[in-house]
Amino acid sequence: MRALVLKEWRQLEAMEADWRSLWQADPRATPFQSPEWMGAWWPVFGSGELLAITVWKEEQLQTMGLFFLHLWEGRRQVTFVGNGVSDRQLCLVRPGVEREALGCLWQALDQHGGWDLCDLQDIPSDAAMLALAANPAVPQYPGRAICLGDSWQDYHAALPHGLRRNLDRYRRQLEQAATVEFLRLPVPEGMHALFALHGTRWQQKDGTAGMFSGHDLQRFHLDAACRLGSRVRMNALLVNGQVAGVNYLLLDGDTAYGYACGFHPQWARYSPGTLLLGWGLERAMMEGMRRFDFLRGDEPYKSQWGASPYQTMRLQLWPK
């Protein structure tokens, strides 16, 4: 196998078909490693020097680590492309060649030099890259995910009695107070509604602007979601014809990833987030999703939906 280090994004664009083939082949890959997500991230947040390490066997891409080299707190640091907005990060690798391919990747990173620290975050605990790294990884963020099964009726029946009661009660009460509709919004419309609702909710909750307050973050998410197209769901709750809540999901394989939710505080007593999640889970199962990943965070409400805990890892390496 041979390693090739790429320094310009246009080189990655030129090999997008190879990148996509590798992404589709890796069973641990998520939308956060896709050409669409990464391609939207780099123009907005990319800084320093691109350091994309690709490993090939003949003409087939075997593994790829998308990093960038930048100054951080006085050190020359290697960081994942996608850092900060991606809840799951890893080096893509084809099944069956992990040891040889990733060994070649780590060797290429070490031989490249010019860095003081390699700090890689949000890595799944079962990622092959961890087993072959020079240093052990440490736990970083908790998360939770639901195994949905094949039947919404069976899943719903297994939920705690209190949650099932609230789903029925909140929806009935809201429908008595207003005209209610659940639907999927087009990505641009749904994303702009999410930005506004999320900001309003957090401003009233604790005086902060929320996670989508910056122009760059909004620009990135709008571009990434438009690029991902059919793999994005902007599930919405309309009350009296106005958008009262939006749930932003990413779909890949048989997994739906719950990225963010926003709702108007005016309707908080009807728990619009709970209603949207229930409707979205049922729709996701109708589309063949068998797993729902809440992503980062271990908030208590997630366990009520039957979500099991997991841990992501942080890997720090220093030059030999």
Q: What CATH number did the domain enclosing 57 receive?
A: 3.40.630.30
pLDDT reported for residue 214: 87
75 and 135 fall within a common domain: yes
56 and 126 fall within a common domain: yes
136 and 165 fall within a common domain: no
Domain ranges, residue 43: 2-142+312-317
HSE-CB for 22 with a 13 A CA cutoff: 29
Asked if residue 161 belongs to a domain, the reply is yes
**Contact criterion met (CB below 8 Å) for 64 and 55:** yes
Asked if residue 302 belongs to a domain, the reply is no
The percent of residues above 90 in pLDDT, for the chain, comes to 92
65 and 134 fall within a common domain: yes
Q: Which amino acid is at 169?
A: R
Asked if residue 270 belongs to a domain, the reply is yes
225 and 136 fall within a common domain: no
What number is the average pLDDT over the span 192-213? 78
131 and 162 fall within a common domain: no
pLDDT reported for residue 202: 67
pLDDT reported for residue 3: 97
Q: Between 69 and 214, name the one with better pLDDT.
A: 69
Asked if residue 233 belongs to a domain, the reply is yes
For residue range 42-51, what is the model confidence (pLDDT) as tens digits? 999 999 999 9
153 and 285 fall within a common domain: yes
**Contact criterion met (CB below 8 Å) for 65 and 52:** yes
pLDDT reported for residue 177: 94
What number is the average pLDDT over the span 302-316? 97
Asked if residue 222 belongs to a domain, the reply is yes
- Count: domains in the chain: 2
**CA neighbor of 246 nearest in space, from 184, 170, 181, 171:** 184
**Contact criterion met (CB below 8 Å) for 3 and 105:** yes
